[in-house]
Amino acid sequence: MTNVSASCFYRLRQMRRIRRSQDNQSVTTLVHALVSTRIDYCNSVLAAAPKTTTDKLQRVLNAAAPVVSNTCKFDRGLSQLLHDELHWLDVPDRVVFKLIVTVHRCLNARAPNYLSNHVIPVSAIVSR
């Protein structure tokens, strides 16, 4: 987590430098490509992780929000900005969402076989 958050903070500092010369769409695309993907990569491992672990990644998201919205980092209403305007989930919610989507794909045969073979509906277990 430390390496991921450090690399994300580095990318965000670089994006702040070029923010004035880019439009909102370009900055949003860059943040999603360089920061959000790093946060979401293998985050299903964090399913039962303690809050201290996910807080490091949450700080990255909190730092990315002012870059995308072109606001000052000390402005109020950061959580409202994250949820209402940017439609970003908090890191623990992102982990749960990814797990739910993966299970849904497994149950509907839209996931790789190595995953689908290990997911069995509860109704199939009860009827045995």
Q: Per-residue b/e over 54-85, b at no fewer than 16 CB within 10 Å?
A: bebbbebbbbbbbbbbeeeeeeeebeebbeee
For the chain, the domains span: 2-126
Cα–Cα distance for residue pair 62/59, rounded to 1 Å: 5
pLDDT digits (tens), the chain, 128 positions: 899 999 999 999 999 999 889 999 999 999 999 999 999 998 889 998 999 989 999 999 999 999 998 887 777 788 888 888 889 999 999 999 999 999 999 999 899 999 988 888 888 777 66
pTM of the model: 0.83
